[in-house]
Structure 1
Amino acid sequence: MRTRPANTENTANTEKVDPGLLDAALDRAILPGYSRFGLWVRRRAQPADSAEPAAMRGRTAVVTGANSGIGKECASALARRGATVVLAVRNRARGEQARADIVAACPEADVRVALCDVSDRDSVLACAEKLNDELARVDVLIHNAGALPSEREENAQGHELALATHVLGPLLLTDRLMPALTSAPAPRVIFVSSGGMYAQPLVVDDPEYRHGRYRGATAYSRTKRMQVALTPLIAEHYAPQGLSDVHSMHPGWVNTPGIAASLPGFHRLTGPLLRSPAEGADTAVWLATTSTTLPPGRFWHDRKVRPEHYLRRTRYTADEVERLWRYCGTTVGIAVD
């Protein structure tokens, strides 16, 4: 059993990082903080961006779910900075179209497409094997692929789809890409989470959502909460192998095809306030490119560490996080002892 707390209290974050009264008010108010307005206000005080064309030259990035929305914008931004970028997508045709769009905007970009259905174990294993063979190193791995099922679905291995997409698949892909990741001098792994996780507790006794009335938005938010809770343990687990730079972030409310399709009412009501995909990708891109030494295992929004809890009912213990880590690790075949 680990003796170090798994970053379960928001007091640890807020003691070290004071976002300022206005910034904190925006965060707690949710609507202004997660909207375009929040990003506009915060940009004045944000850390510098590594936007130079050569900032990522010689580095390689893998982005899942990169055929549209935030993932595509992450890939495009990294390609513009000189990185070799792999679009890990489950639909090759859409991936090739995304590649063509990025290269059209940046003809010098080195952009490749790899098939990877993050929700499916066999697809993840095949993708990892291919990338380890073809790439000398992976400097950045961005877990962006998402799923918001309208009803409960299971993948080919019998796991609930949101859990498989947001937690099990990313854990497995990270683990199997360790040869390429540890070949990079300072690898980073970034989970694109969601502010929706603030409304959900850590469900340890029913991670597969087998009990109670199934709601896709709840499944989505629960598994995004799991991403944030597990981030410190992932960083700790792989640190001895050379990977401790593991982070989670949330992009705010973003106008993406997935949101429009899955939450049409929300999209209709908040449309003018939603961030663009590029604005939503901003923190993930900054985490991937900054030369700043970052504290590992933290949760970020608008380039700052954020509290992991605002509601008392969402708090969890280190033991609960450990139990979830053991379940997920054992499920995908990671030795978590």
Structure 2
Amino acid sequence: MNHLFTPYEIKGLSLKNRVVMPPMCQYSVTNKDGIATDWHYVHYVSRAIGGASLIIIEMTDVEPDGRISDYDLGLWSDEQIPALARIVEACHQYGAKVGIQIAHAGRKAQDAAEPVAPSAIPFDGNSKTPRELSTVEVKEMVEKFRLAVRRAVQAGVDVIEIHGAHGYLIHQFTSPFTNKRTDEYGQELTKFGREVIEAAKSEMPEDMPLIMRISAREYVEGGYGINESIEFSRVFQQAGVDMFHVSAGGEGPIAAAGKPGTHVAYQVPLARAIKEELNVPVIAVGRLEEPALANSVIGNEDADLVAVGRGMLRNPYWAIEAATVLKKEVALPKQYEFGFPRN
């Protein structure tokens, strides 16, 4: 039976275990230039030393006004490639594979003078009203995603993740809650996401997997649920997505009628539903930092990989700590061997 520390392969990607560090924004760019800093280097490389098999670099944006804040990473310029390549190379030295999440914040771009979105609907009462993108601008945005993916591949990443969740631009196009357009991108809500996927695949090596992060359920009045997300994920799978990273929410202020769960593993049933309905590999995420719980997600075949976010923020060595708790043999950095009991 598979467990958290069995290897995993998808296309040309070979992982030593099932532990993923999901993308988590650091808001730590110092010069507002989108270039990764020494903070990012230490942050990601320490998790590679700590035993994670796949590290997905935080939300990295396709244009300056696509950032949540001016302190986010970007890939709209070739000048941003070397700092990311340095991180990727170092993580590889410690046995981890590296992905990167390519994104645009859309109406949630807090520091943009004028955010853009599929429709001119603000996120909440304290947010700027975004400008609706023209049809031509939407097509230009697809090209910006393509070029960002090209730069990520040049930086040496092993996998690409497209951010289609948490109320950011692709999610905004996919959701009837935020997409009120009347053009082709309103008549077919999956069109923008599908074109971004196709553009990304055109820049990726044939054996490189494409992951897409989705919100499988919305927590607003009138928001979509798992049945709708299964259907739009089916379209995205046909367009070229190899694996889904299944999260939820983020599309708007949480309504009383749709509060997210607060219990551990509350999103795992969503991941399992996508996996079973589409026969597609999935990453589960959301309050899974207890080793036995994370292990059960793999053993029960709820998901193929487990992403541990906050737990890995607290402890860079979460993966090898979890192996110790679960009594699984893993390779330890020789410098740290005396710090961990051996089975």
What TM-score do the two structures reach when normalised by structure 1?
0.33
Q: Which has the higher contact order (CA 8 A, sep 6+)?
A: 1
- More helix per residue: 1 or 2? 1
